[in-house]
Structure 1
Amino acid sequence: MKKEWFFDRYCGQQFVALLEDGKLAEFAAEKEKNGEIVGNIYKGRVMNVLAGMQAAFISCGLERNCYLSIEETYTDYSKYDGTMGGSGPQLPELKEGDEIIVQVTKPPRGNKGAKVTTHLSFVGKNLIFLPNTDFVGISRKITDPELRENLLFTADRMREREGEGFIVRTQAPFVTRKQLKTEAEYLKNLYRDMRDFAKGAAVGAVLYKDFDLPVRVMRDSMGDDVTAMYVGDDDLYERLLKLARLRGDISERKLIHYTGKRALMREYGISPLVFAAAQPTVPLDNGGYLVIDRTEAMTVVDVNTGSFVGDTRLEDTVFSVNLAAAREIARQVRLRNIGGIVVVDFIDMTEEAHREAVTAELTECLSKDKAKCHVLPMSELCLTQFTRKRVGCDVLSYLVKPCPHCRGNGDVPEDIFVITRIRSDILDCFANGYHAAVVELNEGILRRILGEGLLSGEVNTIWRDKRVYMIPHKTFQEAQYSVRGDNSGVLHLPDKAQILY
């Protein structure tokens, strides 16, 4: 399989996309400042104890109180082979006002606060250090019995006290035992420094912050099977080049510095694929289609035959559409990063063998997802339920926001998504030979561009010898804009027009 990764940063955001055989498999975006909080460790205060639920609400300095549950862990131990010491994770005895160290496991969602755990994890390239969880485990992708035994023995020997543990990650076989011990000591030092800092820190302080998006992808998601990595930013390219050298299992030749005149994501056809990920309707290659609807409790997927009529009997036509839908649903939940409960309304099939085959296909495709999934048998109504572990924010939270005009019943594009599209159109203008670009846009969008300096990097570098004029309109919807190029030398613009910076 051809795997191509794309990295870029602009407008105060960082972007990562993965193409598998030309299809968009993953996409993520994150603010450069105060971005993803999952993995961060905070000093919190217990605000309310729910004894009957073995849970508590913790104030961590975030917008809403965080939810601490006995069931919540940052590391999913069920993904690894190993032995849990004692009786497994336990919630400490808490009372209101207690100060406590917690790690964010899931981001805020809707009107709910983040979820946190007291069972901390420090993630490295080859190891995960568990300072207060008695567990020694190993990745199931390491299959050689003798190698597994040796690595587990090494991990066990690196424990200094009872109650702590290690998990051996997939990349561990590619390094020496000395390198593993060095990484283990580094992770232990991170924990010690965090613990010492916590003693004098105020409630709400960030005690430890996980790496940013590009580094996490290099650390957690990228294997030696990568075909190429394209990087559209100079500084980011240098950072990732150093990381590739440190890893050792990814050739530097696979890291490609993109220096084209157009936006990286648009040049490689990724931008329209990302836009499509925000749409509820997903076409299938055979003419059928899916409709994906989000609700507060779950995500619902409806399968339709569309223009596909088949060649033989109805049962075979329906079976063919459902098989294609099962494959596409697995891709879509991964691409959109959909978590929680998903219910699929497949087209009715009468043959039990067909129902089992569709369920098996869905299960097989979901098994390739790094997020844990669990599929239940198809019901007599051809409804299939499955769960997918929530990992970070879903893609729609970056692309769209609740519509302010219909009280959240619909969605409109997020401001930053509109601004990145404007940036790409301006780059296209200059790539087409124009020296000036005139942008007509919503008044509020312009205020944000100017107030946050979202295009200042381009103005000071690649647009130094160009001119960008912004014309704000009160009557424009937030997503409404136009960009045109001009080489006339004399522009007739309204008084409200502004030159960018």
Structure 2
Amino acid sequence: MHDILINWAPQETRVAVVENGAVQELHIERTLERGLVGNIYLGKVARVLPGMQSAFIEVGLERAAFLHVADLHGGGHQHGHPARSDVAVPVPIERQVFEGQTLMVQVIKDPIGTKGARLSTQISIAGRMLVFLPQDTHIGISQKIGSHETREQLRTRMQRLTATTDGTGTGGFILRTNAEDASDAELADDIAYLRKTWNAIRALGVSKPTGTLLHEDLNLAERVLRDLTNEATQSVRIDSKLQFDALKAFGETFTPGSTAKLDLYKGERPIFDLFGIEEEIARALARRVDLKSGGYLIIDQTEALTTVDVNTGGFVGARNFDDTIFKTNLEAAGAIARQLRLRNLGGIIIVDFIDMVRDEHQQAVLAEFRKQLGKDRTKTTVSGFTQLGLVEMTRKRTRESLAHMLCQPCPTCEGRGQVKTARSVCYDILREILREARQFNPKEFRVVASAAVVEMLLDEESQHLAGLSDFIGKPVSLSTEPSFSPEQYDIVLM
């Protein structure tokens, strides 16, 4: 069982999923930085790139968005392989779209770093229990739903409901896991709502210019009721009366089963302070994660992948060293799975568990890791141990990680995590003065640098500075600039 806490402010909504007193998930949405996944735009093809089988689409965002041939509706396949007639061959993108063409597109991946948003022309609209596919006709059922017989019964019910709801039967549907126990009335309400939403989108698409946002996904608080609230949820507590009323109205319309769990928090202390979530957010931004046993994790997030290193630290509680390692790795397996959810880390993840001699220990740790990852709402895939004793895994990435959302690279080291020593900067300055002395003939060279660099030039490096001054035949003066970073300097020709 878990509780969901919602901390609302006009500029930001924060959601924490708490289970057994520990935060399992954190979701943050800023009003000015709302994610774009699910948004539907009327786009214009700016450029077709046959070599990449992609196109850049202008949708009114800061950067042009990206459409790959695989994300075109219908898959873009034609039959007719040079050697085999039964093989479907992709239709090149340059034969499907052209520059200046207007396309209705949906964002399937947010812009991350320097990459523009990724788009699809296969539109889908999520409801409470169903996902509507207006361009398709099939009925899909989540594989997580019960037995084969249950899925077939649901498919038959859906075929009946979609055919009789408005007499047309247009559009396809995918049943989400929470549709398993839904009544016909609930399914019919969702079908009607989704078709009504699609009709409104289609009408806007005809009347609006390119670059128009036609449809936006629900805000975070509404998605809590639609996606996060289930039978295991004890309560959904929110600290804003205004948003509580809005959520209650939304819930009564779309998620009547979850409205009873809504609770208005009226305490004087901020809701996140009361449950220690502010401290948890601070810990989720740190490199080091301490384990209860005395071991610890080091988590490093880079452009290409995320690495997690497991260390025994001060843990010496087991009978022998093998048991110490095994118990630390078992505890780390659960902690890593939780940290991936908490930090919303995605892409390639490499876990360096402490080397284990016994094969059964390796398999037990791997089984525990997979079990803990099974709690994740986001799709994960885990490989076994490599020859180097590493575990490779992937976690689907759709939105920015917590660190990327809340932090920015250090302006001093620009994300390197280290800066040059004062002595290194001194030698850079001495080389630069010599270089400039060969090109220019000023009366004097003035060095402007940080206090630590100037201090070293006046003290430990004063002999080298004096020697250089004699060699070039010009005086060199020093000036401290408090606002300069350790690596920053300027050489002024006087």
Give TM class, smaller chain.
0.7 to 0.9
When residues 87 and 220 of structure 1 are mapped into structure 2, their CA distance, relative to the original with a 3 A threshold, is farther
Alignment of 1:99-498 (within 5 A): 99-157=102-160, 158=162, 164-246=171-253, 247-250=255-258, 252=260, 254-410=261-417
Alignment partner, residue 456 of structure 2: none
SS at match of 1:371: coil
**What is the rounded CA distance, in whole Å, between the counterparts of 1:56 and 1:330 in structure 2?**
36
Question: How many angstroms does 1:220 deviate by?
Answer: 1.2
Q: Judge conservation of contact 2:347–2:396 (CA < 8 Å) in 1.
A: yes
1:94-143 alpha-carbon deviations (Å, 9 max, x no partner): 12221111111111111111111111111000111011245422223431
Q: Judge conservation of contact 2:8–2:238 (CA < 8 Å) in 1.
A: no
Q: Judge conservation of contact 1:303–1:322 (CA < 8 Å) in 2.
A: yes
1:54 counterpart = 2:61? no
When residues 89 and 120 of structure 1 are mapped into structure 2, their CA distance, relative to the original with a 3 A threshold, is farther
Q: Judge conservation of contact 2:229–2:258 (CA < 8 Å) in 1.
A: no
Q: Which amino acid is the alignment partner of residue 208 of structure 1?
A: H
Question: How many angstroms does 1:260 deviate by?
Answer: 1.6
**What is the rounded CA distance, in whole Å, between the counterparts of 1:367 and 1:264 in structure 2?**
29
**What is the rounded CA distance, in whole Å, between the counterparts of 1:291 and 1:16 in structure 2?**
25
* Structure 1 gap segments, 5+ residues each: 75-85, 412-474, 477-501
Alignment partner, residue 9 of structure 1: 8
Question: How many angstroms does 1:57 deviate by?
Answer: 1.7
**What is the rounded CA distance, in whole Å, between the counterparts of 2:358 and 2:38 in structure 1?**
46
SS at match of 1:108: coil
SS at match of 1:57: strand
Q: Judge conservation of contact 1:37–1:104 (CA < 8 Å) in 2.
A: yes
SS at match of 1:380: coil
SS at match of 1:227: strand
Q: Judge conservation of contact 2:58–2:211 (CA < 8 Å) in 1.
A: yes
SS at match of 1:24: strand
Question: How many angstroms does 1:401 deviate by?
Answer: 1.3
Q: Which amino acid is the alignment partner of residue 285 of structure 2?
A: A
Count how many residue pairs are aligned between Structure 1 and Structure 2: 400
TM-score by length of 2: 0.75
**What is the rounded CA distance, in whole Å, between the counterparts of 2:201 and 2:355 in structure 1?**
55
Question: How many angstroms does 1:88 deviate by?
Answer: 12
Q: Which amino acid is the alignment partner of residue 29 of structure 1?
A: I
Largest Rg, 1 or 2: 2
Q: Judge conservation of contact 2:225–2:258 (CA < 8 Å) in 1.
A: no
Question: How many angstroms does 1:239 deviate by?
Answer: 2.1
TM-score by length of 1: 0.74
When residues 73 and 35 of structure 1 are mapped into structure 2, their CA distance, relative to the original with a 3 A threshold, is farther
Q: Judge conservation of contact 1:378–1:384 (CA < 8 Å) in 2.
A: yes
Question: How many angstroms does 1:31 deviate by?
Answer: 2.0
Alignment partner, residue 97 of structure 2: 94
1:279-324 alpha-carbon deviations (Å, 9 max, x no partner): 1111111111111111111111111111112422222211111111
When residues 354 and 67 of structure 1 are mapped into structure 2, their CA distance, relative to the original with a 3 A threshold, is same
Identical residues among aligned pairs (%): 38
Q: Judge conservation of contact 1:402–1:410 (CA < 8 Å) in 2.
A: no
**What is the rounded CA distance, in whole Å, between the counterparts of 1:328 and 1:34 in structure 2?**
29
When residues 126 and 120 of structure 1 are mapped into structure 2, their CA distance, relative to the original with a 3 A threshold, is same
**What is the rounded CA distance, in whole Å, between the counterparts of 1:292 and 1:66 in structure 2?**
31
Q: Judge conservation of contact 2:295–2:314 (CA < 8 Å) in 1.
A: yes
**What is the rounded CA distance, in whole Å, between the counterparts of 1:161 and 1:410 in structure 2?**
60
Q: Judge conservation of contact 1:156–1:165 (CA < 8 Å) in 2.
A: no
SS at match of 1:37: coil
1:28 counterpart = 2:34? no
Question: How many angstroms does 1:165 deviate by?
Answer: 1.7
Question: How many angstroms does 1:146 deviate by?
Answer: 4.2
**What is the rounded CA distance, in whole Å, between the counterparts of 2:52 and 2:144 in structure 1?**
35
Q: Judge conservation of contact 1:229–1:255 (CA < 8 Å) in 2.
A: yes
**What is the rounded CA distance, in whole Å, between the counterparts of 1:238 and 1:407 in structure 2?**
44
Question: How many angstroms does 1:36 deviate by?
Answer: 2.0
Q: Which amino acid is the alignment partner of residue 305 of structure 1?
A: T
Q: Which amino acid is the alignment partner of residue 32 of structure 1?
A: T
SS at match of 1:109: coil
1:184-216 alpha-carbon deviations (Å, 9 max, x no partner): 122122112212211232221101111100111
**Stretch deviating more after TM superposition (133-142 or 221-230):** 133-142
**RMSD between aligned residues:** 2.7
**Stretch deviating more after TM superposition (243-252 or 295-304):** 243-252
SS at match of 2:66: strand
**What is the rounded CA distance, in whole Å, between the counterparts of 1:151 and 1:70 in structure 2?**
33
SS at match of 2:258: coil
The structure that is helix-richer by fraction is: 2
When residues 347 and 205 of structure 1 are mapped into structure 2, their CA distance, relative to the original with a 3 A threshold, is same
**What is the rounded CA distance, in whole Å, between the counterparts of 1:87 and 1:165 in structure 2?**
23
When residues 165 and 68 of structure 1 are mapped into structure 2, their CA distance, relative to the original with a 3 A threshold, is same
SS at match of 1:308: coil
Question: How many angstroms does 1:170 deviate by?
Answer: 2.3
When residues 65 and 93 of structure 1 are mapped into structure 2, their CA distance, relative to the original with a 3 A threshold, is same
Question: How many angstroms does 1:359 deviate by?
Answer: 1.5
**What is the rounded CA distance, in whole Å, between the counterparts of 1:395 and 1:51 in structure 2?**
36
Q: Judge conservation of contact 2:71–2:120 (CA < 8 Å) in 1.
A: yes
